[in-house]
Amino acid sequence: MLLVTGGAGFIGSNVVAALNDAGRDVVVCDVLGHDGKWRNLAKRRLADFVPPSELMDWLKGRRLEAVVHLGAISETTATDGDLVIETNFRLSMRLLDWCTANATPLIYASSAATYGDGEQGFGDDQSMDALKRLRPMNLYGWSKHLFDMAVAERSARGERLPPQWAGLKFFNVFGPNEYHKGTMMSVLARRFDDIKAGRPVQLFKSHREGIADGDQRRDFIYVDDVVRVTMWLLSTPDVSGIFNVGTGTARSFRDLMLSAYAALGITPNIQYIDMPEQIRGSYQYFTQSEVDRLLNAGYNGGFTALEDAVETYVKIFLDRPDRFR
């Protein structure tokens, strides 16, 4: 039996689907709330569903094959520091201690938000010297960074850890079951209905010399690739460490939108608007993961090209009455 925290969320529900397809028994720990997250699990089989407030009691006396810890407050705009630290850091520490004491593999979600403005690059060096140089720009990224440092420091000191541990620094993940995320959805999911209806899609103008409007770039990775990395780790227990999970290729927001228009066979209709003053100073114009450590660890599942990923997402999910996996 495996535990997936955040299993009703975006990435978590896709991992649960893959585990179901592999015939594995899955327990989900999450909060469903009132935003329709339950639909992410409506097609799944669960051995149990545990609220986060009851998790540590539920774990007493249990034996698990592995813990996939994806649960977190993931809004980059979150401002309740105490709640974020309790949810993203302290609960993660309790799970780390439980997995260590019970010799249970722990695969957990970190984030590319730990890299901050990218001034230090996007290399997934897990040495303490490298980690200490990172400066996350928001509360969410900082909370994830704190946990990365706690695990990496134990590893550097040779202290006890789970038999396998892996922190995954997800870059810009998009795909089915992200619809409950509101403004945190991918821009493709947020703008798809506009594209379909023929309304103009608005992208930010560039306010940086040498970069064209709409040419701000991200490492967009389809959720199926993220799931494939996770499943590979579950089947490769001798691999531990902190790894970037991105494609290694930055693409523009314009490319993303043009791929959606192409998938639908619609003439592009893109408008460029001024970026709000309040975010211009902190806006990232470029993110691109370095994936050599993951590849050198033995991962050979590949990554889906942006155009192919968008076409799959559009034709199999977004452009159908039932958009859920």
Q: Residue ranges for the binding site for substrate?
A: 172, 183, 204-207, 218, 283
Contact assessment for residue 98 and residue 34, using Cβ atoms and an 8 Å cutoff: no
Alpha helices in the chain (DSSP H): 10-21, 55-59, 81-84, 91-101, 128-132, 139-156, 187-197, 223-234, 253-264, 277-280, 292-296, 306-313
Instruction: Give the number of residues written for the chain.
Output: 325
Assess contact for 191 and 201: CB atoms under 8 A. yes
Q: How many angstroms separate the CA atoms of 62 and 89, rounded? A: 22
The span from the CA of 285 to the CA of 215, in Å, is: 8
Residue ranges of the annotated binding site for NADP(+) are 10-11, 30-31, 37, 70-74, 144, 173, 181
Structure tokens at 199: 């309304």
Distances (CA, A) of 152 to 74, 243, 271: 21, 12, 45
User: For the residues of 178-210, what is the DSSP string, one character each?
Assistant: -GGGGGGS-HHHHHHHHHHHTPPEEEEPP-STT
> Strands 251-252 and 217-218, how do they pair?
antiparallel
Q: How far apart are CA 28 and CA 49, in angstroms?
A: 5
Only one residue has tokens 């799931």, namely: 227
Kindly list the catalytic residues.
140, 181
Identify the sign of the CA torsion 126, 127, 128, 130: negative
What DSSP letter does each residue of 120-177 carry, written as one string?
T-S----SHHHHHT---SSHHHHHHHHHHHHHHHHHHTT----SSEEEEEE-EEE-TT
Neighbours of 280 (CB within 10 A): 12
